[in-house]
Structure 1
Amino acid sequence: MAAASSSSRTSDLDKLLLRPGHLVGPTFEPGTQLRDDLGEYARILVVGAGGLGCELLKDLALSGFRNLEVIDMDTIELSNLNRQFLFRPEDVGQPKAQVAAKRVMERVSGVNIAPHFCRIEDKELDFYSDFSIIVLGLDSIEARSYINAVACGFLEYDSNDEPVEETVKPMVDGGTEGFKGHARVILPGTTPCFECTIWLFPPQVKFPLCTLAETPRTAAHCIEYAHIIKWDEVHSGKSFDPDNPEHMQWVYSEAVKKAELFGIPGVTYSLTQGVVKNIIPAIASTNAIISAACALETLKIASGCSKTLSNYLTYNGVEGLHTKVTEFVRVKDCLVCGPGIFMELDTSLTLKEFINQLEEHPKLLMSGASVRVGGKNLYMAAPPLLEEMTRSNLGLTLYELMDKSPAGVVHVTGMAGKGDKRQSCLRKLRVAFKAVGITDTNMAAA
């Protein structure tokens, strides 16, 4: 099929960007310059290159965005091919991000997509700060929480506790489950962030240990037995890493043995990943619909051509077709998108002592913490090379490491929570030093 001409390819986009209207944003100025600026200056990060991520890359490229990047840690599996349309049988085993970027660039001229084959936690915070908008195409609640915390970590508040506009990092989040899906706009400090509405996601199903060990009845029981019970029995305290393919393969093999013993069908590697990592299933048609909604909201934010969604759209295609928009309210004292947790510290407190306090803080309970101030790493718990490079800071006072500033914002990353609710997260702390006279009430003014 011959490639479409430039004018015909942008004709639908021009209807939104080249003419005024009653629903446009306050800064909207229609014209070809706006269309050109979108392609030249807007930088969009797509997080996830699976079923939803493939659709998002295609839709954003066709919506006039030219500078895209995509991050995903997974490789292509045979089971992906039925709904992740950018992939082919010969791509099995290759990184999703790299193949997805290549396929879209082959089909859409002029677009540049930089792929990143790694974990989202492996990137420095500065990496995320460079993007105009972050678009989420994830199947994991934990991954959403992490990116949400990263984006909200850039947010600054003025002396009236109002968000500083230039520090707002917009996010567009899409999610699907079977024939159901959602699209939402997150403007940190204005709309509710992911953590504000975490209750929207049902809790992960837990099974009694006696059922898993003695009377499993489903494939999920067998998988959880291998994951929760058998792993600890065999590996004697070694931490299970759900992102390690060898660990996941071991759980799958043990689950198959358990299932065969009790005559239970249905244990697959894909299901093992889903149960262990709490991955939400998806199908192609729902991905396409939700992606279209997310791409449109991204275009609205970047161009101001229309008011954005306010702020949560749900789609249900189980019986007929039903869509609804709900305006949820932001939690004012949210630990993630709020001004941050206030901590008043002694100027004599060392960085090591500060990290120890994070483990005992009732709102944090954070272990293995890495600490950053501005763009500077004060201490990195991992990887080993960075830990060694920053280890000498542990004996210095936090006051000195923060250049003897009376107050400031500190970002900490680590494992937080209790028991099976522990997960990797990022938290923003408002630190003030007692002897300098900064208190919680005048912290914002400082």
Structure 2
Amino acid sequence: MAAAAAASEEAVKAAKVLMVGAGGIGCELLKTLALSGFRDIHIIDLDTIEVSNLNRQFLFRQSHVGQSKAKVARDAILKFRPNINITPYHANVKDGQFNVEFFKQFNVVLNGLDNLDARRHVNRLCLAAEVPLVESGTTGFLGQVTVHVKGKTECYECQPKPVPKSYPVCTITSTPSKFVHCIVWAKDLLFAKLFGDKKQDNDLNVHSKDDNSSKADVFERNIDENLEQYAQRIYDHVFGYNIEVALANEETWKNRKRPYPIYVRDALPEEAVQQNGGSRDCKNEEQEPSAMGSLGLRNPQEIWSLADNSRVFLEALKLFFEKREKEIGNLIFDKDDQLAVEFVTAAANIRASSFGIPPHSLFEAKGVAGNIVHAVATTNAIIAGLIVIEAIKVLKGDYQDYRMTYCLEHPARKMLLMPVQPFQPNKSCYVCSETPVLLEINTKTTKLREVIDKVIKPKLGMNLPSVMIGSTIVFEDGDDLDKAEAANYALNLEKVLAELPAPVVNGTKLTVEDFLQELSCNINIKHRDEFDEEKEPDGMVLAGWSGPVDTQATSNGEKKLVPSSSSADDDGTAKDISAKPGMKRKLNEILESEENCDVVQNPSDVGSSSAQVVEDDDDDDVVMFDEDPKLGKRKRLQ
């Protein structure tokens, strides 16, 4: 025992560790590493500290708001461990400086990330550098730690990742029945149309057949129109006129409750419209613009009346044009943008009123719009401790003792922590096993740009891809291209596959590489003439590594095909795995008495009891679950 302890201590002292993420898990992890004897720690984090972080990211204080998380975390630890080396990087882990050579200098990499894209990127760099990776995540009382070692355990991408909950476009635009439908409409359609890319088209730009201005964009502000008039016209169009147009389709409302159109004159008396925003405090011009502040609304947990929502909507719209006009055209909804949250909350509530859906407070609406899952500091601390335990095993080379550990909300047989042996590498994983994937596509009508935008970047996770057909490079991405090369590749993007310099036909093999990730993937092409527009709207189907394919709605509401999130057998049972060496049993048998164990709900799906995987764009400690042990299904971290 003494010899083993000494070996562990020496391994810890000599180790050079990379932490990615300095948020909820990261703060606890850095503290635990420092107190466990680690002496050389490097931290990468892109974020700055926000007020909302302070309740659980204990290394930060009010005075640190706006500063780099990585740098402040370093300074906080050095106050009680001044003799260790901590190197912070206020940067994106996907930046070119963090390449394979950079990763090779470390003995182990510890992840505390909050998004699928970054996780996949780190996984690939660790595989290329042959550095062990310890993954982690928490959501509320649930947590997990997994170990990924090249050739010995499955990599992070050995199993397909579940797709976030989304909704059909027809539901969002025509027949909402839940508040989340109204939020998606307000955020992804109305906000985007008013303040985002002006070139986009959506179902909000509705005209009647008799409207002589039918070719004009309703959302363009007229030359002779002041902001007050413009805001009211937009209000009347999206909440009034569009609803009237929808009501004209009697077939839609035969078995549904009919909505009612709302116009400014219905929601606000004329004098209230004229006085809207009159209480604005001109002394706070340098502060972030806020419709609530202008209107004297202070409580974010108050549910506003239709009149208040209307006032906030009109005021927020005007403030965007008065205070942030230079940003209009490039804005994307951000849950940390107060004015954007106010606008989306008010718009969603007005639409909800029209369809007979109960309104929500700004606090609730922000949670739905931002997919926020509330964090628990204790869970972060437990998970951080488990990360360090697995990191020490990795440093000692104790492969047989590696464990994937799950922190359960409802302890099974008094087990708060459930350890299982890691899974073997998936032989069909295109990332760590280099197995080709199959792409069914119409090579005569599909452009190269569509393949890159719909498959190579989002589904295969390539950030800077190059595409080769045999020895011919048909596309390459990067800042180091000369003008002639860039122009040539731009031309290729608009060509259909069969007309590329090296034509793509049935049986062609594409080689796709991302040099930053040192990843190469082969795509075998299978030509298909026709696709089901309802089930296969992309006009292409990716198969092979991704396993069974399910139909899922996209973020804009349209349906698409995505990999199944389960690797379970048809009967729903999990593969045999060990809770302890020499004692193998199925996870669903271990947890058979727990009816609701490890079910992660989509926070956007208010009132739903179905198990969903959350797409996190909040803090580092708000993430997805790898596994649902009760159901015997793998729900890999997003």
The normalised TM-score by structure 1 is 0.64
| Matched residue, 2:219 | none
1:160-217 residue CA offsets vs partner (Å, 9 max, x unmatched): xxxxxxx522000111111111111111222111212345xx5311123344446666
Quick check: 1:412 aligned with 2:412?
A: no
Quick check: 1:265 aligned with 2:361?
A: yes
| Root-mean-square deviation over aligned CA pairs | 4.1
1:380-395 equivalent positions in 2, closer than 5 A? 381-382=477-478, 386-387=480-481
Quick check: 1:315 aligned with 2:410?
A: no
Out of 286, 295, 302, the residue aligned to residue 388 of structure 2 is 295
Distance 1:121-1:296 versus aligned 2 partners, 3 A rule: same
Distance 1:273-1:291 versus aligned 2 partners, 3 A rule: farther
Quick check: 1:209 aligned with 2:169?
A: yes
Out of 105, 121, 133, the residue aligned to residue 130 of structure 1 is 105
Alpha-carbon separation, structure 2, partners of 1:426 and 1:229:
38
Letter paired with 2:389: L
1:142-172 residue CA offsets vs partner (Å, 9 max, x unmatched): 32222212222x1xxxxxxxxxxxx522000
1:250-278 residue CA offsets vs partner (Å, 9 max, x unmatched): 75343123244243214479636742xxx
Checking the alignment, whether the CA contact within 8 Å between 2:191 and 2:333 is kept in structure 1 is no
1:33-72 equivalent positions in 2, closer than 5 A? 35-36=9-10, 38-40=12-14, 42-72=15-45
How far is 1:108 from its partner?
Answer: 1.6
Distance 1:129-1:220 versus aligned 2 partners, 3 A rule: farther
Distance 1:214-1:110 versus aligned 2 partners, 3 A rule: farther
Distance 1:287-1:333 versus aligned 2 partners, 3 A rule: same
Letter paired with 1:102: D
Letter paired with 1:147: V
Secondary structure in 2 matching 1:44: strand
Alpha-carbon separation, structure 1, partners of 2:375 and 2:518:
28
Letter paired with 1:168: E
Checking the alignment, whether the CA contact within 8 Å between 2:152 and 2:424 is kept in structure 1 is no
Checking the alignment, whether the CA contact within 8 Å between 2:136 and 2:146 is kept in structure 1 is yes
| Matched residue, 2:52 | 79
How far is 1:59 from its partner?
Answer: 1.0
Checking the alignment, whether the CA contact within 8 Å between 2:158 and 2:429 is kept in structure 1 is yes
1:351-410 residue CA offsets vs partner (Å, 9 max, x unmatched): xxxx989749977777873459xxxxxx9735xx54559958989xxxxxxxxxxxxx98
Checking the alignment, whether the CA contact within 8 Å between 2:45 and 2:90 is kept in structure 1 is yes
| Matched residue, 1:100 | 73
Distance 1:170-1:95 versus aligned 2 partners, 3 A rule: same
How far is 1:49 from its partner?
Answer: 0.8
How far is 1:132 from its partner?
Answer: 1.6
Checking the alignment, whether the CA contact within 8 Å between 1:75 and 1:95 is kept in structure 2 is yes
Out of 295, 308, 325, the residue aligned to residue 419 of structure 2 is 325
Out of 145, 168, 182, the residue aligned to residue 144 of structure 2 is 182
| Matched residue, 2:94 | 121
| Matched residue, 2:309 | none
Aligned length: 341
Alpha-carbon separation, structure 2, partners of 1:186 and 1:356:
34
Distance 1:206-1:51 versus aligned 2 partners, 3 A rule: same
Quick check: 1:224 aligned with 2:184?
A: yes
| Matched residue, 2:120 | 145
Distance 1:342-1:257 versus aligned 2 partners, 3 A rule: closer
| Bigger helix fraction | 1
Checking the alignment, whether the CA contact within 8 Å between 2:137 and 2:143 is kept in structure 1 is yes
Higher relative contact order at CA 8 Å, sep ≥6: structure 1 or structure 2?
2
Checking the alignment, whether the CA contact within 8 Å between 1:222 and 1:255 is kept in structure 2 is no
Distance 1:368-1:286 versus aligned 2 partners, 3 A rule: closer
Checking the alignment, whether the CA contact within 8 Å between 1:179 and 1:316 is kept in structure 2 is yes
| Matched residue, 1:286 | 379
Distance 1:205-1:342 versus aligned 2 partners, 3 A rule: closer
Checking the alignment, whether the CA contact within 8 Å between 2:345 and 2:365 is kept in structure 1 is no
Alpha-carbon separation, structure 2, partners of 1:206 and 1:297:
35
Alpha-carbon separation, structure 1, partners of 2:170 and 2:150:
44
Distance 1:114-1:225 versus aligned 2 partners, 3 A rule: farther
Checking the alignment, whether the CA contact within 8 Å between 1:44 and 1:132 is kept in structure 2 is yes
How far is 1:53 from its partner?
Answer: 0.8
How far is 1:341 from its partner?
Answer: 4.5
Distance 1:387-1:53 versus aligned 2 partners, 3 A rule: farther
Letter paired with 2:103: Y
| Matched residue, 1:170 | 132
How far is 1:246 from its partner?
Answer: 6.7
How far is 1:227 from its partner?
Answer: 3.6
Alpha-carbon separation, structure 1, partners of 2:60 and 2:9:
30
| Matched residue, 1:256 | 345
Name stretches of at least 5 consecutive residues in structure 1 with no aligned partner: 1-14, 22-29, 155-166, 344-354, 373-378, 396-408, 415-424, 432-446
Letter paired with 2:345: V
Checking the alignment, whether the CA contact within 8 Å between 1:313 and 1:326 is kept in structure 2 is yes
Alpha-carbon separation, structure 1, partners of 2:142 and 2:41:
27
Secondary structure in 1 matching 2:426: coil
How far is 1:225 from its partner?
Answer: 2.5
Distance 1:129-1:341 versus aligned 2 partners, 3 A rule: farther
